[in-house]
Amino acid sequence: MRRRTLLITTAAVVGVLALAAGAWAVGASTAPVTPPGDGRAIAVKSPVATPIPKAENMPPLQLTGDTRYVALGDSFAAGMGAGDEHGGCARSVLSSYPAVFAGDTGVRLLHNASCSGATTDDLVNKQLWALNGDVDLVSVSIGGNDLGVAALATACDSGATADCKSDFAAAVDAIGQLTDRLATTYQAIAEAAPNARIVVTGYPLLFELPATSNPEFATTAAVNTATAALNADAESAVTRQQERGVKIWYVPVSFTGHGVGSAKPWVNTKGFAAYHPTAAGYREYARTFETALTGRH
């Protein structure tokens, strides 16, 4: 299978943050590029867009009151930032995208087992109890905490601080292992729910492009590129499971026109839920999820 390589260099991003220029280096290559000085580079293998079975060629699924649905994942599945969160997992009973999707379609949401802060390991060890052979549909939003995207955005909102550089270095390290982690997670889900259709939802780019030169948007390119790398690894892991015969698809989610810096953002920028979707953002997640499953726009 043909693949492209997404290159992320710590030296490059530090330069971006320091200059607040919003530029980012993304290119195609077959090996890492070694930047000058003490910067590091990592080659992230990502699939070419063409051969990846995406939402548009997912067989339509009839959604009825008999469709048994389970949601798994992190804060983006729990609904953190929607405004009506409860409990230690900051889960929204009414405004998370699984809840909105279930309300709109009438499917039976058996469990939303997601939890804010969850990693791939947390999902495998703490959320698979919700699955069994009777489940028809599973949604999965996971990987953001393995990479630390929201934490990176928060750490870098004042520019190239020591915390910002440290968090970005940690994200670069995690990217190299993420495809394998995600593939293992998706395989575990498929084994726990052998008759279910599994849909992996991507993460929206948080910042509106192009980046501005204002200090508060100095990290736009870094955070968006880290998110793009996460999504590419999710696609790659989904493809790996599809090749094993698993009924699994990747669904990209876009907040274009509604990211941080837009007139009407669907992203919180302050408080405990900073850099998580608002209730409007979760409605867009639900709409995208339903459209992908049914083919109806």
pLDDT tens across 167-178, in order? 777 777 778 789
In a domain, 24, yes or no: no
pLDDT tens profile 212-259: 545 444 566 778 888 888 999 999 999 999 999 999 999 999 999 999
Say what the pLDDT of residue 56 is.
52
In a domain, 98, yes or no: yes
- Rounded Cα distance, 123 and 112, in Å: 12
Instruction: Domain count for the chain, please give it.
Output: 1
- Rounded Cα distance, 34 and 132, in Å: 47
Residue 213 token pair: 């030169």
pLDDT tens profile 256-296: 999 988 999 999 988 899 899 999 999 999 999 999 999 87
Say what the pLDDT of residue 285 is.
97
Catalytic residue annotation = 75, 276
Q: CB-based contacts of 277: which residues, under 8 Å, 6+ apart?
A: 76, 81, 82, 204, 255, 266, 267, 268, 284, 285
SS3 91: strand
Say what the pLDDT of residue 160 is.
67
In a domain, 252, yes or no: yes
Contact at 8 Å (CB) between 67 and 48?
Answer: no
What percent of the chain is modeled with pLDDT above 90?
Answer: 57
Q: How far is CA 73 from the centre of its chain?
A: 10
Q: CB-based contacts of 57: which residues, under 8 Å, 6+ apart?
A: none
Domain encompassing residue 155: 53-294
Q: Encode 41-104 in three state secondary structure.
A: EEEEEEECCCCCCEHHHCCCCCCCCCCEEEEEECHHHHCCCCCCEECCCCEECCCCHHHHHHHH
- Rounded Cα distance, 104 and 84, in Å: 18
Q: Of 30-34, 83-87, 188-192, which range is least confident?
A: 30-34
CATH code of the domain in which 254 resides: 3.40.50.1110
In a domain, 15, yes or no: no
Residue 265 token pair: 């953002």
Task: Categorize the per-residue pLDDT at 15 as very low, low, confident or very high, splitting at 50, 70 and 90.
Answer: very low
In a domain, 30, yes or no: no
In a domain, 265, yes or no: yes
In a domain, 40, yes or no: no
In a domain, 209, yes or no: yes
Say what the pLDDT of residue 55 is.
56
- Rounded Cα distance, 74 and 182, in Å: 13
